[in-house]
Every structure is written in C-alpha cells, then in structure tokens.
Amino acid sequence: MQVKKTNYTVNATPTFEVLTEDEIEAIYYSALRVLYETGVRVYEEEGVEVAHSGGAIVEDTTEDSSLVKIPPWMVDKALSTLPSKVVVVGPDREHRMELYKDQIYFGAGSDTPFTWDPYTGERRRATYEDVKNFAKIAQAMPNMDFHMSLGIVQDVNVGTYDRWQYLAMLEGTTKPINITAVDLDGLRDQLEMAYIRVGGKKEFEKGPTFSLYIEPVSPLSHSEEVVQKLLFATDHGIPFVYTPCPLAGATSPCTLAGTAVQALTESLFGIVLSQLRKPGAPMIIGGLMSNMDMRTTVYCYGSPEMALLSAAYTQITKWLGVPEYETAGCSDAKMFDEQAAMEATFNATTAALTGGNMIHDVGYLEQGLTSSMDMMVATNEIVGRVKRILRGVPVNDETKALDVIEDVGPGGHYLEHDHTYNRFKDLIWQGELTDRQNWESWDLGGRETFRDRVHAKVLEVLEAETEPLMEEDMYQELRRICELADERHKDEELDFDMFV
C-alpha cells in the first residue's frame, strides 16, 4: 500500500467520470423540479391513488389517466427507505448478484424478435429452442453473471410467451434471471414457476431468483401495465428494474443532460410509488438511454452518446445510492462484425469503468431487434479484458518488487523466478479466443479469424453434453403452468399463426 498521508490509500481501479458532483446535483434537483412542476402521466387508477394518498398532487384527470405531480419531500422520504443494495440469486444460490455501488455484473438483453441461427446463418424469428440455447451459452460464459431472454419465443402463443421464455431460460441456466412479463397474469405465473424451481415461496423470499424488467414510456408516461407490475412486484418482494428508454432528440431532449434529467424523473416516480406502497421494496433504476439516429430514426445501441449517458446515469445513481441497470455489449451492426466488436468494446469498457451494476444487453445486434450467440461469446472475451483493466496497477512494496529486481540484477531474467511463477497466471490476462500466435502457427492452423474462433466456441458450447438443470418432474410441473396459461388466454390469439 502506498501511503501518501495518514489514512490515504491510492485507488488502484481506473475510473471514468463524465460528471462532477455539482453536475450530478444539478441534474438531480432539476429532476425534482420536473417531477413536481411538469409532472408525469399515470394510466393506472390505483397507482394514482397510491401517489395521491402519499401527498402527490393529481391534476387533469381524463378517462384513462391523470397528471401526477410529486413534491420534493416525497422523493426525500422515498429515498430514505429505498434499499441501497439489492441481491438477486440463481435458483441453487451458487450464482448471485449483489447490486450496489461499483459492483459490476454483465448479462444478456431481452426479447429480441429476431435471432441469428448459429447453424444456417440466417436471421429469423426466435423460438423456444433459441432462448434455451442462449441460456446455455450464458451458463458457460464466466463473465456473464445474470441472464435475460435473448429472443422472444415466437413458436408459442403470443399472449403467454413470457412463461415459455422463463421455462426455456430455466432449462439452460442457473444464473440469476431478469424476466419480462406480458402482463400481470404473466408475472403471477412466472412467480409461481420461480417458487416451484427454488423450493417454495419462503425460499424465494430469502433471496429472489429473478428480478422483473419494467419499462415506463418516455416522455414521462407510466402505463397501466407498468404500474400494475410495479405494485405487484412491490407487494411480493420481487426486485424490479424500472428503466425508461428515452431517445435523445425524439422522446427526450437532444442534449444529454436534458435526457438524464428526464430519465431520472421517470425513475424517481417509480421509486416514490414503490416506497409508498411498501417502504424498503427493492428496485434497480434504469440506465437505458440513447439517441435517435437522425437518418434512420432507429434507437442507437452502439453510439458514443449511449456510452456517455450510461456513464452519467451510473454516477447519478451511485450518488443517490440506488442500484443501477446499465447497457453494454450491444451494437447497431446487423451481424457480428467489426462494428459490433468495436461498439461492444466501447460500451462495455465505459460501463465497467464507471461502475455500473447490472449491465445488460450483451448479445444485442440491430438496435435490439436481433440476438446473436457470437456477439455474446465475443463480449464475454471483451469483458474479460475490461475486468483485467479494472484491476489497475496496484503500487505497493510487493508489486514494486525491488527485492526481485535486486535478486535478478542487470542482465538476468525473470522467467524462472518464483516471483513470476507464482503470479503470472493471475496478472497476465489470457483470453480464450484472442489470437497471439506467430505467423507460422496461425498460417498452419488455418488462418482463423476472431469471428471463426468465436463461432467455433458457440458451436462447442451448444454441442457440449450437459446434465439437465432440473428434475423431469419439476420441468413437467413448470410446463403445466405454461400450458394452463395458454389454455386460459387462447381466445385472445389470432386464429392463424402470427410468425411461424
């Protein structure tokens, strides 16, 4: 430890900051103003009622919604009971996320309509099998800490696909899962499934095995379903991600600070509502902000603005002491190519360097419309590098190694020294898919590119024999819930197949 003055330790971890503390405060207090003076529109009566009884001003009530204005003291009160740490575990408790300041976890994104078929190389609608396979990949990737459904299951009924997605993920992984739900009924079913998987309601309550993704609509709108899910999750001790997805220049101001203000306002409403409903209810607030591409009108998943906004939001949430949802490992490229690798490297690096908590969307291509196993495997390698960088250059008597330098002396070498032997594996990062061969070896080995090696790894994981993660009885019990849901909701379906 290098001691400069009493009680002062040099921080070995490199950090990336885009806001000063004054700027963070300016954004936070501006969000309080928007929440109080502009207000948010809430499309759910019970939510309006909860806010109102907690002190919110309710105006301009129409047939389907009300304008809700939250005075700053309500936010203070809510933040005082909001947990600064949220834990989500895998069903066997082996994998866990402890979400609080600077704790970094990477994982997939969710619900892409399309996926790249790893065998045929075609982009097509995602199926149950794909979602299961993605979970299998996530399970095998050491730098993937949690999982989401990389594909909407579209070979089942549309109104109940969420249960099937959850089942497919449970078949493939024992890592913590961030689920999506089509509606309240879907959430209820998945909670029932989680109880079964983990061994009962009490077990779930000891450590929830999923968190729930909830997305209010920018600008400043909280739909009926969103509020219902929030209230249900709060009532049942389900940690939830409350993440608006504003598009700078389209659904939020073009200026990044303005987008941060608006996104924070949207999340703060969720915080107030959850804490009014149940003080201490766990939640994670969003960090999914980007800009609209002004040529194509798409939501950019690989832009430098997204990385900047994510960094800013991470700093804001750390200052607030609220666990955060971050975005990285994703790209606007259509397939896993050089642009995809470049964008994932940039956003994964900035996300990690700023200390985002639950960093999702690994595996996203085409602005979140297509998932790619190659992208996930490549990002796993990228994250490995980033984690090495995060360990920084610790400077202390041991690492300065003056005695070793003295020992070896001028003209010697360190290869045989115990100091090297005991440390090199830990200190010199070795990627699994990174090529460092000399020319001859690479040439003789068939001149494999990074893309080739990544794809070979995908196939290797998919084809590896693995033990089922659940007993057959349990699987059948979970499957039954999905089938019953299909039966209950069959009348809502179209009378023809929508996708396949």
Partner 1 sequence: MSTVYEKLATAVLEGNSDAVPDLVQEGLDEGKTAKELLDNGLVVGMDEVGVRFKRGDMFVPEVLMSAESMKAGMTPLRPLLAEAEEEMLGTIVLGTVEGDLHDIGKNLVGMMCEGAGFEVVNLGFDKPPEDFIDAIKEHQPDIVGMSALLTTTMRAMGHTIKAIEEAGLRDQVKIMVGGAPVDQDFAERIGADGYGSNAPSASDLAKKFVGAA
User: How many residues bind partner 1, per CB under 8 A?
Assistant: 34
DSSP string, 35-81: IIII-EEE--HHHHHHHHHTT-EEE---SS-EEEE--HHHHHHHHHH
CB of 160 to partner 1, least distance (A): 10
How do 40-42 and 221-222 pair as beta strands?
parallel
Cα(56)–Cα(39) distance, rounded to whole angstroms? 10
CB of 66 to partner 1, least distance (A): 15
Tokens of 417: 């020294």
Cα(122)–Cα(116) distance, rounded to whole angstroms? 6
Cα(293)–Cα(308) distance, rounded to whole angstroms? 16
Identify the residue among 71, 113, 279, 431 touching partner 1 (CB under 8 A).
113
* DSSP label at residue 115: E
Identify the residue among 161, 166, 204, 242 touching partner 1 (CB under 8 A).
161
21, 151, 333 from 350: Cα distances, Å: 18, 26, 19
CB of 64 to partner 1, least distance (A): 8
Identify the residue among 39, 66, 68, 111 touching partner 1 (CB under 8 A).
111
| DSSP bridge partners of 290 | 247
String of contacts with partner 1 for each residue 8-37, x by CB under 8 A: ------------------------------
Identify the residue among 18, 57, 79, 158 touching partner 1 (CB under 8 A).
158
Q: Which residues contact 338 (CB under 8 A, 6 or more apart)?
A: none
**Should residue 401 be labelled a site residue for partner 1 when binding is judged by CB under 8 A?**
no
**Should residue 255 be labelled a site residue for partner 1 when binding is judged by CB under 8 A?**
no
Identify the residue among 68, 167, 212, 247 touching partner 1 (CB under 8 A).
247
Task: Please name the amino acid found at residue 46.
Answer: E
**Should residue 60 be labelled a site residue for partner 1 when binding is judged by CB under 8 A?**
no
CB of 181 to partner 1, least distance (A): 10
**Should residue 444 be labelled a site residue for partner 1 when binding is judged by CB under 8 A?**
no
Question: C-alpha angle with apex 362: 360 to 365, nearest 5 degrees?
Answer: 120
Nearest alpha carbon to residue 131 among 106, 109, 105: 109
How do 105-108 and 358-362 pair as beta strands?
parallel
CB of 494 to partner 1, least distance (A): 4
Q: Which is nearer to partner 1, 128 or 161 (CB)?
A: 161
**Should residue 185 be labelled a site residue for partner 1 when binding is judged by CB under 8 A?**
no
Q: Which residues form the interface with partner 1 (CB under 8 A)?
A: 43, 64, 111, 113, 152, 154, 158-159, 161, 182-183, 217, 221, 223, 225, 247, 249-251, 292, 294-298, 367, 369, 492-494, 496-499
